[in-house]
A = this chain, B = another copy of it.
Amino acid sequence: MTDEATAFVPGHITGFFSAHPDENPEIAGSRGAGVALSHGVRVTVRRVDGNAVSNNHVATDDTRENTADDRPDEATLNGDTISMPPVDTVRRSLGVPNAEVKAETPLPLGSGFGVSGAMALGTAYAANAVFDAEHSENELVTVAHRAEVEAGTGLGDVVAQARGGLPIRLEPGAPGHGTMDGVPECPRVEYLTFGEVSTAEVLSGDTTTLTAAGERALSDLRERPTADRFLSLSRQFAREADLTTDRVESVIADVRAAGGDASMAMLGETVFAFGTALSDAGYDPEVCDVHPAGSSLVVE
């Protein structure tokens, strides 16, 4: 038993998706495709003594049935205390509501990089190690996926972040329900972020058009699963689903004028591209790689 463990979870940009809600959060999810990034989230979970937290709960099975009175401490992200409901749900699901969760990331929150999914999944992996909870990877992914879906903050990031690479979500849902494939490439990734888009707002609205466009894109990608095709299908999807902003459209137009291609991250005011497409168009993007692995513990 250790006092502290750290997990790394890759960031994840969804390029296109279709929404598949369900009353059962393990069955709910999305189909679609995306990119797991070497820029990700490091989540450290620490066992804290009773007197170090606001209430004296010891993290045992007895605390699984906490009520709202047992409000756990918030998590921190890059040193700032934030409210992150999926992280709270994961802690409660694992019976460790008072575990301390600290996350560090170069990625912006709310901009389409799956930071909330990464925090939920990283909390599950690290808490499992600290508290010797003895869950399998599928169980930890299920706990985090359920927490994301219940919070309305995402439908497919967690399963993609558990896989790594260029994940294709063939069927929605947690392990045992969903099925995955991948595009066998590892391109360099460039991205530029302008601001946030509320995932919860888009997902709670009418997703009929979006889902029809996402299903078409998935069917086309499966015919020809390459990184370039993924990017052009993502660009078409963003327009068909009416999710692009003027700033995003303008950057994409510049990249295409320079002979490249780019699209928008779902869901954030973020443009992403492969190779040097954004640089070639005169922009100064963030640069990272595809992360071939899914979530894992960090061995120091």
| A residues apposed to B, CB below 8 Å | 125, 128-129, 134-138, 140, 164-165, 168, 175-176, 179, 181-186, 188, 222, 224-226, 289, 292-294, 296-297, 299
- Bound-state CA distance A137–B224 (Å) is 12
Q: Assess whether B225 is in contact with A164, with CB atoms less than 8 Å apart.
A: no
Contact of A184 among B140, B165, B175, B289 (CB under 8 A): B140
Q: Assess whether B168 is in contact with A136, with CB atoms less than 8 Å apart.
A: yes
Count of chain copies = 2
Can you name 7 extra interface pairs (CB under 8 A) apart from A136-B222, A184-B296? Answer: A134-B226, A137-B225, A138-B181, A140-B184, A165-B296, A176-B179, A292-B293
Q: How far does the Cβ of A187 sit from chain B's closest Cβ, in whole Å?
A: 8
List, in ascending order, chain B residues with CB within 8 A of A183's CB: 136-137
- Bound-state CA distance A140–B273 (Å) is 25
- Bound-state CA distance A182–B125 (Å) is 12
List, in ascending order, chain B residues with CB within 8 A of A294's CB: 292-293
- Bound-state CA distance A135–B222 (Å) is 9
A185's closest neighbor in chain B, by CB?
B297
Given contacts A292-B293, A292-B294, A294-B292, contact A138 B182 (CB under 8 A): yes
Contact of A296 among B125, B135, B168, B186 (CB under 8 A): B186
A126's closest neighbor in chain B, by CB?
B184
Q: How far does the Cβ of A182 sit from chain B's closest Cβ, in whole Å?
A: 4
Contact of A225 among B134, B186, B297 (CB under 8 A): B134
Given contacts A225-B136, A226-B134, contact A125 B293 (CB under 8 A): no
Q: Assess whether B224 is in contact with A134, with CB atoms less than 8 Å apart.
A: yes
Q: How far does the Cβ of A176 sit from chain B's closest Cβ, in whole Å?
A: 8
List, in ascending order, chain B residues with CB within 8 A of A299's CB: 186, 188, 289
Q: Assess whether A185 is in contact with B289, with CB atoms less than 8 Å apart.
A: no
